[in-house]
Structures are given as C-alpha cells and as structure tokens.
Structure 1
Amino acid sequence: MKKSIMAAALLLSTALTAVAQDAPSVKLGVINDQSSSFSALGGTEVTEAVKLAISDFGGEVLGKPIELVSADHQNKPEVALSIAREWLERDNVDALFDVANSAIALSVNTLLGEQKKLGFFVSPMTDKMTEADCNGYGVAWAYDAYSQVRSSVSAQLKDGGESWFIISPDYEAGKVLEASVKTAVEEEGGKILGAIRAPLGTTDFSSYILQAQASGAKVVALTVNGPELVNALKQVQEFGLIDQGQRVALTVLHQSDARAIGLEALKGIQFASPWYWNTDDASKRFKEEMQKKTGNAPGWVAAGAYSAATNYLNAVKAAGTDDPTAVLAKLREGKINDMFAHNATLLPNGRLIHDTTLLEVRAPGETADPQDVFKVVTTVPADVAFRSIDKSACKLGKS
C-alpha cells in the first residue's frame, strides 16, 4: 500500500512537471501597490515597463508567447499572498516582479521558496530576502538599505555633519533604514542624537520635526517616502530647519517625489539612487518610450523592473527552459550590463550588485527639460555600494 501511494505521488509530481514544461506560454506577473501609499513610486508604471520589456524582446521565447499578468495588492499582506499563491499554484506564472512593500516581500519570498519559483524584487527596501531569509529563489534586483545609506551618510559626514536625528516610517523598511543609518553614522565616527518613527499614512509631522529641531543635530535624516515624504518636507520648510542651519538628508527620493514636492524645496539635496534616466543613450531611449505611455519620465523602480524582466527572458532563452534553477545559473554566468545595471553580478544569495549613483536635485530652471530633475554627482562602484557576499548572513554559496 505504501509503495502504491509513493508511486502515485511520483506520477503526480512528474505530471505536474510535465504540465509546467508544456505550458502554452511563459508567464510573468507584476504584483505591487497600484492604489494606495506606494502606488506613486511604481504602481502601474511598473506594469508598463514590463510590457515594454516583453515587446522589446519580441513577444515570445522558446517558441511560446510571453504573457503578462498584473495585480494591485492594495498594500495588504493577506491580499498579496493570496494573489501570489494563486498565480504560482494555479495559473502557472513563472516569475514575479516588483512585489512592493518590504513586509509583503518577506511573505512572498517564503512562498517562492516553498513553490520553487522565481521572484525579482525591485522596490522593497529590506535585505532579509537575500540575508537571513534567503532561499535561492528570491532575487533582489535594485537596491537595499545598505546600498542606499552608505553613500549618502559618507557625503554628509565628510562635509561636517557629525550629529544626526532620524525620522523613519514605522514599518519594516523604515526600521531597516533607521538601523542602517545608525550603523553607517557610528562606524564613520558620527553621533546619533535621537530617532523616532511615524506611522504609515502620517500627514502631520510637526511633533517629529520639532523634536528633531530641539535635538540640535546638524543633520536630520528623513527615511520616509511617498506621500509621507511630501508632507514631511513641506513641513520642514514651514518650520525653517534649513534656514536655521540644519541639513536635511534623504535616504530615498523618487522621480515622482520630486514632481510632487517641487524643486524649490529639494534643490541641492543629495541622495543615492540605483539609476537615473539622463545618464546614457539606452536610458534616455527608455525614458522617451515610457514618457509616451505615462506622460512622465520613469523612476528607477520601472527601470529596474524592465531590466529584471529582460534579463530573465534572456536567461530563459539561453537556458532553453524556464526551469528556475537553470535560469538562475544563466543569470550568474557573467557580468550583466544594461541600461539599468552596470558592472552587475548576481551573487549566490540572490542580491544583484551593480554600480549606483549619488544624485543631486537640480535648482528650478536649471535645465530645459522639466523632467530632468536630478544630476549625477558621482558613481559608486558595485563592490563599494553593496554588502559583499563574505559579510552576508546567507549561507548559500558558502563552503
């Protein structure tokens, strides 16, 4: 009886594998926030970017059409996990892309490990998918708290900003960023005079800003993003922090943030970024194509999703299969160089390391193109910007 059950299970497993191999299409899934707090940072723009990647690739791979599904998880973990599970278990989606919101990304990463399917995380800030929670199937394509913080902190400290006060959002990514800023500042000889967290959706930052002002810190670090960053910066101007001699440092700034806040409030602020469109011909071409679709220059989340989807499809083609293990092996074979990822290498823990840039917000009227809101200050090499594999908590790829 036991042998019969084992044989039946083996036959079922073989049948499911055959179904996956004989699927009529290669299917990509974009899952992110398209209607609430994080939607302005990527949202439907990411879907358009992956559509463009599929079109530029030619629309088919291995003789099969490439399909795209997209869903709004509404920033709700239970909704996101339900959609992801349905896609992977029932709808034969081969790979997930973006997966906005760090808490959601952690849950989806666990599911990817269980299902042995690939996920390309673009906008989540947390590094747990490639550190303590690594499983070999979650790929972090764009950035993490470590890569964002190091360049920005270093620049401020070199210019005399030795004392810091941190205002962070009270969710997973905010906690990661706060810890990263603290570590970077203290390791480079600076002091943390205070830190406070604001709940997601906060509109009134006055009490937090007053505490930062009273601390006397030379640098006030804002690690909030999206609508919260817009509100916080407007209130920073109202309370006159910059006029009174305090600096305001950002760990993250998106193209959409600059449009919403305005250059007058942001001019001169520096921050690290995985990508900017006005750097090379390929990026400028991507900007023009995306602007036709959305009306605005794309942010780095859209660019990262385009890059991840394109490299995934190239790896599927090179491997001659969409089997996740074979695809990952192809992605790790050599350097990746495209309009988003320069001098990039996919590490065994799933972290793509690549050159990043230190950007500065332009002053109003500095260029003729109103979409050209940032300028490149310097390039940070991949091995400096990202944590090395020997310092990773992930055991994958280590002897």
Structure 2
Amino acid sequence: MTRTKFTAGMAILAGLVGYSPIAAAEDPVVLATATDLSGTYSDIAGNSSVVAIEMAIEDFGKTVLGRPIEYISADHQNKPDVSSALIREWVSVKKVDALVDVTLTPAAIAAQQVANENNIISLFSGSASLGLINEGCSPTSFVWTYDTYVMPRGVGYAMKPGEKWFLITVDYAFGKQMEENLTATIADRGGELVGSVNYPLGTNDFSSYLLTASSSGADVIGFISAGSDLMNLIKQSSEFGLPQDGQRLATPLLFENEVAALGLQAASGLQTTLGFYWDQSPEARAFSERFKERYGKMPNMLNAGAYSMTMHYLKAVEAAGTTEAKAVGEKMRELPVEDFFAVNGHIRPDGRMIHDMFVGQVKTPEESTGEWDFFKIVQTIPGDEVAFPLEQSTCKLVQK
C-alpha cells in the first residue's frame, strides 16, 4: 500500500504537472479520504479514521485483484469547496476508485455529488446527514455508522414509561432535526416532553438554561449539542449538581474522546447512543488494542466504522472481479456485513448499512476498571427498530 497526503495546494500542482507517485503501469486501486486533519474533528473522525482505514488496507493484504492499493488522505479544512476541489482533482488525475469517508455534512454532500456524477463508490462513516441516503442516494453510495435519526431514537430507548424530559438544543439544523426525532421517540415510548429551550451555537454560559431545566420537574434532561458546546453543558450541569439532585442526563451523541477530556467525575451517569464500543466483544477488543498501539487511543464508533466499510468494499471488489462502481455497489449489498463492528449488519436499498445499536452509560470513577473503560452497555437495540423508515425515504432506489 502507498499512502499519499494531499493538501489543496498539492492537488492543484497535481493538475498542472500530472504528479503521480506511482507509475501508471502499476495501475493501482485508489482509495481517498477528504477529512479534517487539523481542526475540530481531527481527533474524533479525521486522523483517527485515517489510521483505521490504513489498518483495513494492510489487513486485506495491500493488494486487490492483483493490483496494489494506493491510499490518499487530505485535509479539506472543513470547507465544502476545498473538499470538492480535492475530489475533482483526484477523479481527473488519480483516477480514484472509492472515497472512503468525508467528514462534515456540507463537505460530505458535496463529495457524494462529485462521486455520483463520476460513477465512483462513496463510503461515509463520519457524516450523519440523512440527505446522503435520501436525495443524494445512488447505487454506489453508502452510509455506514450513524445518522441524525438513529442517534436520538437510540438514546430515547433507555427511558422508562411516563418519564418527563426537558431538552436543551443548539439552534441550527443539526439540533432541530435531532430534537424532532428525540421528541417523537419520547412520545412513542410513553414519555412526556415538559419543555425545551434553544441556545445559540458557541454559547459559553449555560447557567440560565440549566436552571430552567432543573426547575422543570423533568426526570431526564437531554442535551442536543456537540463539540465544545456539549462539553460545556456537561461540565456546568455537574457543577450545578443536576445529576446529584436525581435528574438523569442524556445526549444523542458522545464520543470516548470527549469523555476522556471531561473526566468520569463530570460525565458519570450520562446516557448516549453508541454504534460501537471497544469492549463490546472479544473481537472488538482485539481490533481496538491494535488500533490503540497505532493511534494511542481506543477507537470510537466512527473509526471502527471506517475500518469496517473499507474492508467490506475491498471484499466486494474481490468478489465482483472488477472495480467498476455499480458492479461493486451491487456486490456490497449482496455480501453479509458481520464483523467486530457490525452486529446483524445488512445494507438497505438506500445505501444505509443497518446494524445493532447500544445505549451506553458513562461509568462512575469507582465503576471504571482502567484507562478508556468509560461506558457500560445498558441496552442493545436491533438496528431495524431505530433506523430511518424506508416508507419515509425519498431515495429513488427505494420501492414503496
């Protein structure tokens, strides 16, 4: 396997001078990742997932159909225009066969469009937009790990009938979509939403929102947030003593990397949805220990999903006997998805890979037995029960 790191400048240079580190005669199978290698998501789904993809290529044997596998990774700087420019350059210069992960929703949507236009496989672990399996769906595009429907639905499954919820939600599309889905789950599970507040992205002081939630009489306070906002919400809720007062905290999306930064004391008791946990099985532990040797941290679900989808793609290429995207996409849907990551996995017509999900609860410091022992699995949820309903799909490949 040859790995090439591209920057936007290198991509432009490649277009000008026809740069290629591998002679054309070798005819490599080219995989490429445009992701965040230096910004907000670089640890959660950027550099970490690049390592996971490299591991999958190495474990496969670095060749497929007798051809070497070349892997390119580049920093799209969280800019959709940079992502599109990189990918268009790869299409014309590198003859890329598959995009294996693009983080950040706008960048992923832009990348999928380029891939669809050029009959290229696109695989997404680090992007959660439902648009990728609805209006953007194609025979050659796949969403592997999570989405904005399954995560709020999952955390709602841990509730008890009759519980009252109060939601603190970030005020933009991500938050609104998550809140809508979590609210529906609360109603479906026999709960009650007693109130909600929206806050502007980038808020530092959540005291007024937390006081409103605390006095609401809610049994559960849900944080629909991400990144530094979520970290501040969790820290400040601990300082306000909300968990100690008997109110349970929940959030649809929380990564091991964030728990490590927060510490168990601040995050203990918080419930979330997990698509994978490194300690869920002997096979998951074996992969995760190898990953930790390479990256220094245990993998989260996005990293594990990146490995799984890369390995599945390479198996499909081998089984199809070609890299032609539509033939490979058809074979990907035919082959079973059952590995250390995917429990009961299968790929739907819209390209969504469905697998069992978990409700995880952050352990207390006393419950934790060592480094990275952050979650206990309190419930396993069959993937089909929380997946986006096909009857609501706008994907042209779905028969209704």
Quickly name the TM-score band, shorter chain normalised.
0.7 to 0.9
What is residue 340 of structure 1 aligned with on the other side?
Answer: 341
Separation (CA, whole Å) in 1 of partners of 2:314 and 2:331: 11
- By how many angstroms is 1:324 displaced? 0.9
Separation (CA, whole Å) in 2 of partners of 1:328 and 1:22: 26
Separation (CA, whole Å) in 1 of partners of 2:200 and 2:71: 34
SS at match of 2:285: helix
SS at match of 2:334: coil
Amino acid at match of 2:393: S
Separation (CA, whole Å) in 2 of partners of 1:39 and 1:169: 22
What is residue 102 of structure 1 aligned with on the other side?
Answer: 105
Separation (CA, whole Å) in 1 of partners of 2:176 and 2:365: 33
- By how many angstroms is 1:200 displaced? 4.3
What is residue 11 of structure 2 aligned with on the other side?
Answer: none
Distance 1:212 1:108, change over 3 A: farther
Maintained 8 Å contact 2:316/2:335:
no
SS at match of 2:158: helix
Distance 1:268 1:214, change over 3 A: closer
Greater alpha carbon shift after TM alignment, 93-102 vs 342-351: 93-102
What is residue 275 of structure 2 aligned with on the other side?
Answer: 274
Distance 1:67 1:202, change over 3 A: farther
Distance 1:200 1:143, change over 3 A: same
Maintained 8 Å contact 2:158/2:359:
no
Separation (CA, whole Å) in 1 of partners of 2:306 and 2:153: 23
Correspondent of 2:129 among 126, 151, 166: 126
What is residue 330 of structure 1 aligned with on the other side?
Answer: 331
Please give the TM-score of this superposition, normalised by the length of structure 1: 0.88
Structure 1, residues 239-263: CA drift from partner, whole Å, max 9, x if none?
A: 2322334321111111101101111
Please give the TM-score of this superposition, normalised by the length of structure 2: 0.87
Distance 1:366 1:244, change over 3 A: closer
- For structure 2, which runs of at least 5 residues remain unmatched after alignment? 1-23
What is residue 49 of structure 2 aligned with on the other side?
Answer: 46
- By how many angstroms is 1:301 displaced? 0.8
What is residue 114 of structure 1 aligned with on the other side?
Answer: 117
Structure 1, residues 326-384: CA drift from partner, whole Å, max 9, x if none?
A: 11111111421011112111111010001112222122142433112112222211221
Maintained 8 Å contact 2:154/2:252:
no
Residue 149 in 1 paired to residue 152 in 2?
Answer: yes
Amino acid at match of 1:133: G
Separation (CA, whole Å) in 2 of partners of 1:89 and 1:175: 38
SS at match of 1:112: helix
What is residue 191 of structure 2 aligned with on the other side?
Answer: 190
- For 1:202-351, list aligned pairs within 5 A: 202-351=203-352
SS at match of 2:317: helix
Amino acid at match of 2:78: N
SS at match of 2:316: helix
Distance 1:222 1:180, change over 3 A: same
- By how many angstroms is 1:177 displaced? 1.1
Separation (CA, whole Å) in 1 of partners of 2:324 and 2:250: 43
- For 1:50-65, list aligned pairs within 5 A: 50-65=53-68
Structure 1, residues 186-218: CA drift from partner, whole Å, max 9, x if none?
A: 333433344444444443333433443354433
Distance 1:174 1:67, change over 3 A: farther
Greater alpha carbon shift after TM alignment, 39-48 vs 182-191: 182-191
Separation (CA, whole Å) in 2 of partners of 1:113 and 1:193: 44
Distance 1:169 1:89, change over 3 A: farther
Separation (CA, whole Å) in 2 of partners of 1:82 and 1:306: 25
- For structure 1, which runs of at least 5 residues remain unmatched after alignment? 1-20
Greater alpha carbon shift after TM alignment, 75-84 vs 275-284: 75-84
Residue 70 in 1 paired to residue 73 in 2?
Answer: yes
Amino acid at match of 2:204: T
Separation (CA, whole Å) in 2 of partners of 1:111 and 1:167: 36
What is residue 357 of structure 1 aligned with on the other side?
Answer: 358
Identity %: 37
Maintained 8 Å contact 2:359/2:377:
yes
Distance 1:241 1:250, change over 3 A: same
Separation (CA, whole Å) in 1 of partners of 2:201 and 2:100: 24
RMSD: 2.2
Distance 1:214 1:35, change over 3 A: farther
Maintained 8 Å contact 2:248/2:269:
no
Distance 1:212 1:105, change over 3 A: farther
Separation (CA, whole Å) in 1 of partners of 2:137 and 2:198: 27
- By how many angstroms is 1:68 displaced? 1.0
SS at match of 1:155: coil
SS at match of 2:237: helix
